Each structure stands twice: as C-alpha cells, then as structure tokens.
Chain A
Amino acid sequence: MLAAVAITAHYHPHAAQFAYVGPGAGFAFLGSFLTLIAGFFLSVFALLSWPFRMAWRAVRRRKGYRKALARKVIFLGLDGLDPRVTERLMAEGKLPNLARLAAEGSYTRLRTTYPALSPVAWSTFATGVSPAKHNIFDFLDRSLKSYMPRLSSARVGQPGRVLRLGRLRIPLGRTPVELRRKSTPFWKILGRQGIGCTILRVPITFPPEKFDGRLLSAMCTPDLKGTQGSFAQFTTRVERATYENGSRYPLRREGDGFTGEIEGPGDTFVEGTPRLRIPFRIERKNGAFELQVQGRRFPLGPGQYTAWLRLRFRSAIGATASGMARFLATEAGAEFSLYMTPLNIDPEHPAMPISHPPYYAAYLANVLGSYATVGMAEDTWALNEGAIDEDAFLRQAWDIYGEREAMFMNALENTRRGVVACVFDTSDRIQHMFYRRLGTAGPHAGVIEEMYGRMDALAGKAMAFADTGTALFVLSDHGFCAFRRGVNINAWLRDNGYLHLKHDGRESGSFFEGVDWKRTRAYALGLGGFYMNVKGREAEGIVEAREAGELQAEIIRRLGALRDADGSVPIRNVYATASLYRGPYLEAAPDFIVGYNEGYRCSWEGAVGKVSAEVIEDNHKAWSGDHCVDPVLVPGVLFSNRKIAAGDPGIEDLAPTALKLFGVEAPAWMEGKALL
C-alpha cells in the first residue's frame, strides 16, 4: 500500500528557482510564449475565483484570531543594541521612550545564541529553536570536500542544462537559489492559521520562503554581481583595475571631464561569462560635475550622494539585468575619484527573488521610493578601505535607516491585526565602525550615543501604534564590545602542533592554501568556532572518531591557557558545541565555539582560513567594535509593553511568544518558551 504522500520535486519550502545571468544575480528571463499563454489562463482563473478565495480567506482569518490574546504583535529589532549602553543612557534620561516602555511594561537583558552572531541569533528568533535545529552556526560554513568556506545561509547553484550555439549558451533549466536555514519560522505557522505577518528585513530570509504573508529579504541577500556587496571606486589615481573587497577602476581624462566603465554581472549567455559593462562620463559644467550614464544626467554635488540610479546591463541575447547604485564624488581637485555603492538588486525589477510575494519589493519601491536591497547594505568595507570617509559612511547609513523606517511605518499604518516585524541594522553597523571613537575627543565621539537616541525615537514611533490590543517587543540580538586584538586560531593550532603546513612553512594563504591536511588535526574557519579534521567526515580527515573526544578536551584546556603579550586573557571559554545544543544539524556545526574576552575577536585572516605568523595581532581597521565574543558578555535587550514573566528570557522565546499571543500552541520541536 502506498501512502498518499507526495513530495514534489518542485516543492521546496526553502528554495526558489530563477533563470539568471550569473555567477552573480542575473536576468529575470523574459518569458517564453508558453509562459505567456499559461499566464493568461492563470489570470482568467484568478479573476473568476477571486470572490470565492476572498470569502474563504475571511473565514480562515476569523477562525485564526478566535483564540488570540492580542490583535497585533510588533517586533522592532535593533541589531546589536547593547544592554550596558542602553541601561546607562536610560539612567541618564537620554532614552525617554525606552525608559517609559520599561516602566510601564518590561525591560530585561535577552540571552543570545552561541555564537553571538546576527545570522545565528535572528534565525533562532524566527524559528524558536537552537542552531542545531536551524542549521545556521556562523556566517560561514565549510565544504567537507575542499575545506573551502561558503555562505552558510544561501546557496546559488549552477544552471541546469545549457544549449550551446557557437559562443552563446542558453540555459534550458533554472538556477536553484536555496535558503539553508532550516526548521519553520513562526510567521509561516501563523500564516497557516490565517494570521497575516509582514516581515521586513529580518536576517537570513534570502531567498524568501513562500508563506501566507509578506516578507522582504535581508542579511546575505547578494548584490547584482552575486557578492555580499562590492563597492567600486573610479579614480584617476590608478592605471588599471584592482580588485579587493571593493574594486578600483581607472578614470580616463577626456576633454573637460573623465570617462569610465561600470562593471556589472557576468553574461552567462556567453562562453566565459564576460563582465557586462556600462560606459559613463563625468563632465565639468560651470565648475560643477555631472554624471552622464545611459542617456541620463545627474549632478555630482560636493559631499552629496546621488539618488539611487537604475543601471540596466544588457546581455548578448538582449535580456537585461537591472541594478541600482548611488554615486558620490569623493575628490574633485587635481585628482578625481567617484565612489559607487555595491550594485543593489533593483526592487522594481528584481533579478533574483528578494520578497514574498515577488511583487512586494516592487510595491514598496513604488510607494516609498527605491531602497537598498543588498544584505549588509551599509558599506563598511568602503570605510575600511578609505574609499569614503566617516561622514560619508554616516550619511549612507542614515539614508538606509530612513528607507527602512518608511517601510516599517508603512507596514504599521496598514496592519490592523497580525504581526509586523522589522529589523534595523543601523545600530549594529554604526557600533562596528565607530567603537574606536568612544571616549575620545574627536568629532565622531558622540556618534554611537546619538544613534541610541535615534533608536529610542524610533521605539517611540512604534509605541504610538501599540494600543491595548497590541503586544510590542523591542529587542536586540546581541550587545557590543571593543575589537582591539584579533586571535588567529589557525596560528595557535600550528604553534601547538594541531595544524601543519606543507614544507614546514609558517604562514598560509587564504582558504587554507598550503595546509597539509594529512597531518592536520584541527582548523579554524568563520567567526565563531573551529573544527577537528575528522576521518570519514572531512575529505582528508585524520582524527579517528574514537579519539575526537580526548583531542577536543585537550584543545579546550590548552587554548584556554592562551595569554596575550601583556598577560591578558584573550579567551574566556572554549565550548564543545555538542555540549550546548542537540539537533539534527549538529554535525554541520563547528566542534568548538570560542568565547573571546572583551577587546578580542577572531582575527580577520583567521576567519578566512589563513595561518598568520603571529597568533594575536592588533586590529587597525575602522571596524573596531564587535560581538563575536563569549555570548555571556553580549546579551541583547528586550523591552515590551506587556509584563514578561520569564526569569531568564532568551531570543528563542520570542517565536513561541508570538504563537501564544495568537492562541497557537508552540509545536513540539520548538525549544523556546512563551514569555507571557
């Protein structure tokens, strides 16, 4: 007897499939004739069935809210808002709205995940489960075959079959884009009960999952090139293009101006995927500069970003990929330099899915104007690399904040009942980039405190929407610390005989270039932890499973004894991940999670599998605050207009709380407990 169970090949709760021009994001494929015919009949069917569907939906919704304890639930996520700073500023009377929320409702510190990283913690917020059940343990995970790092949250696969016509390559299949976060977010469970949710920029929601509600993707959404956000600088200071985290391209002097080329995604319709390019010209007119691109002209005012400019890249077969960028002239003297933000996916013509339903991204752009879509939208690397200065970074960060606030307010104004959840990254990015200014006398010494004030004002705006039938939660996923010194765990493993380089070298390139796996028992990758090289698990593993426990205990003991040159303790705790979590994805987790002390973090080089000469090095970057430390040091905050009953709330408790407020029982797999 066969079960009436069908697992459809196309049914994939975490996957979306789009034709694309990659390897970056690509072209929304202009449909075939068959698609048009199918679309026509579907439209007719949708039109005829509309009254019945609306009636059914109304019945479902009425049923869904019958047991609800609240009509509306608002989650305002302020990424990285630190409890110590928040409590101090509240005590000083500088956060009046949050203080009122605490006085009239509740305030508590919020336990975060191990490690204390946004993709991990917000995934736990969404699902109510630990990382071992949602599969996100870090920004990065690794290939067990090649030891190469990969983005842990999403995979863009290769196109299926390809028809070759000379140099042209026509994809016959679709390219899978897959969300790697597992388990089920609370908004999907509520959607099944007819309770509508609007989910704005909650991290690790790319590609967007189908559910009965609206969602705009966030952290780890790529740019049009398929990277996590590559800025460009066009400058007369270089002769040839150079590529680092951002790229520098030459500007050529021509007449009373300059010319250059914007490099876009690769054209996967052509053998070798050559980069698509758009030429542009900068012209001096009456002492001012003007950007001319694709037949349009835009003033380049001193110190002023342009609006979002749409850039259409045309492939060899005529399909187009639409991106958006903002430009800023950063010097206009003897030398000229023009900064361009990463090429964001255009929300009005998304080359990849960035919202659910797909038209929601376009709706927001039409109603509110264009907005940043790339996952980490604030261009921290441009500031790190000196392509923009601190003031330009702040203008950009606050512009993005303005876009987000407009979306949040739009959702609040249009939601009579259901859930609105929105996460703001501004609080995280500004602390990352300006922590070194805290306590100084410089012009940016007050930037972080000012940011806390603006987050308080935002909380005040959200409070205005919270009537007696509304439960409001203002929360952060983690706090913040200084990042002054970086620890290269790979270098420590080398010095202690756990990692070996070929030819007995001392340093390796990125991604373990030069590591002798046949003699290596442990290796580090990512921000939160590191791994043992286990036989039968890693391709070149040498640690026998029966020896792994003993080796792990030995490494934990020895690494905990690490001391900095001045005697400071860089690492407070080293956790065996299996002792923290239970779940089906534990096998993908780092074997160790490192609890760094305040002031320390894993080093920039160690995070990408590089073995440096020194174990501990200074951090010289503008990126000077971080939270990749012992999670005990960086809890988040939780405010609510309701009384929170739980004594030690954790971020896993918010999902079951949302369910309880709508009278929905938390499923057995959820680990969090309702807070109310």
Chain B
Amino acid sequence: MTVKIKRELWVKVTEAAGAGGYSSAEEFIEHVLEREVAKTAAEQPDEEVARRLRGLGYID
C-alpha cells in the first residue's frame, strides 16, 4: 500500500524532519503517526506485559 502526499507538503516534511533531528522524513512521518495512533490503540493486558519482562536481569 502506498500513501501519496502533495509535493509541497513533502518538501515541508523533509525540512521539518531535518530540523527536528530525525534521520529521515520517513522516520518523522512514522513518529507523528505513531503518536496519533497511540491515543486510540488498544493495550496489551497487564499480566502479559509483566510476563514478557520476566528474566530481565536488572529488575525483580
């Protein structure tokens, strides 16, 4: 799947990515979209989150 955006916007995106310290325009776009999606995305159950951390040496 591809997403097309206006060339003018792409130029601004590229400039904003550089000014923001991102290593590419794609990384910038992903970050912006991730932040928006995270607001409504479902979270994994607490016990599952805790289970996955088991065995990490630094925490009990």
Contact = CB atoms under 8 A, between A and B. Distances in A.
Interface of A: 1-13, 23, 127, 129, 132-133, 139-140, 143-146, 148-151, 156, 158, 182-184, 222-223, 226-231, 245-246, 342, 376, 380-381, 429, 432, 510-511, 527, 582-585, 604-605, 607-608, 623, 628, 667-669
Given A6-B4, A149-B53, A182-B27, A607 B58 contact: yes
Contact of B44 (A158, A228, A376, A669): A158
Contact of A584 (B6, B21, B51, B53): B21
Given A2-B5, A7-B3, A184 B24 contact: yes
A226 B51 CA distance: 8
Given A6-B4, A13-B27, A245-B54, 20 more contacts: A3-B10, A7-B3, A9-B1, A13-B26, A129-B21, A149-B49, A184-B23, A222-B52, A223-B55, A226-B52, A227-B52, A227-B53, A228-B52, A228-B54, A246-B55, A376-B57, A584-B31, A607-B59, A628-B58, A667-B23
B53 A230 contact: no
Interface residues of B, number: 40
A528 to B, nearest CB: 10
A8 B21 contact: no
A151 B48 CA distance: 12
Interface in B21-40: 21-24, 26-31, 38
Contact of B3 (A6, A184, A582): A6
Contacts of A226: 51-52
A4 B7 CA distance: 8
A5 B7 CA distance: 8
Contact of B21 (A228, A246, A583): A583
B59 A140 contact: yes
Interface of B: 1-10, 18, 20-24, 26-31, 38, 42-44, 46, 48-60
B50 A510 contact: yes
A194 B52 CA distance: 38
Nearest to B10: A3
B5 A23 contact: no
Given A150-B49, A184-B23, A7 B29 contact: yes
A425 B28 CA distance: 33
A151 B21 contact: no
B44 to A, nearest CB: 7
Contacts of B55: 223, 227-231, 245-246, 342, 376, 381
Given A183-B23, A527-B59, A584-B22, A8 B54 contact: no
Contacts of B2: 6-9
Contacts of A182: 22-23, 27, 31
A356 B29 CA distance: 25
A2 B4 CA distance: 7
B5 A5 contact: yes
Contact of A3 (B6, B21, B53): B6
A133 B5 CA distance: 25
B7 A605 contact: no
Contacts of B54: 227-230, 245
A669 B48 contact: no
B52 A7 contact: no
A231 B2 CA distance: 44
6 contacts: A2-B5, A133-B23, A227-B53, A228-B55, A585-B31, A607-B58
B21 A669 contact: yes
Contacts of A139: 56, 58-59
Contacts of B58: 139, 527, 607, 628
A23 B3 CA distance: 31
A222 B10 CA distance: 38
A604 to B, nearest CB: 4
Nearest to A585: B31
Contact of A376 (B5, B26, B42, B56): B56
Given A6-B3, A607-B58, A228 B43 contact: no
A68 B42 CA distance: 49
B18 A669 contact: yes
Given A184-B24, A667-B23, A156 B52 contact: yes
A309 B49 CA distance: 29
A160 to B, nearest CB: 13
Contacts of B52: 23, 151, 156, 222, 226-228
Nearest to B11: A3
Nearest to A10: B1
A127 B21 CA distance: 12
Contacts of B28: 584
Contacts of A149: 49-50, 53
A215 B50 CA distance: 29
Nearest to B24: A184
Contacts of B3: 6-7, 9
Contacts of B50: 148-149, 510-511
Nearest to A231: B55
B43 A146 contact: yes
Contacts of A527: 58-59
B53 A140 contact: yes
Contacts of A429: 57
A585 B29 CA distance: 13
Contacts of B44: 158
Contacts of A12: 30
Given A222-B52, A381-B55, A584-B22, A608 B60 contact: yes
A2 B1 contact: no
Nearest to B4: A2
Nearest to B16: A584
Given A23-B51, A140-B53, A226-B51, A668 B18 contact: yes
Nearest to A11: B26
A380 B21 CA distance: 38
B8 to A, nearest CB: 8
Nearest to B22: A584
Given A182-B31, A228-B56, A2 B7 contact: yes
Nearest to A584: B20
A2 B6 contact: yes
A343 B9 CA distance: 49
Contacts of B57: 228, 376, 380-381, 429, 432, 623
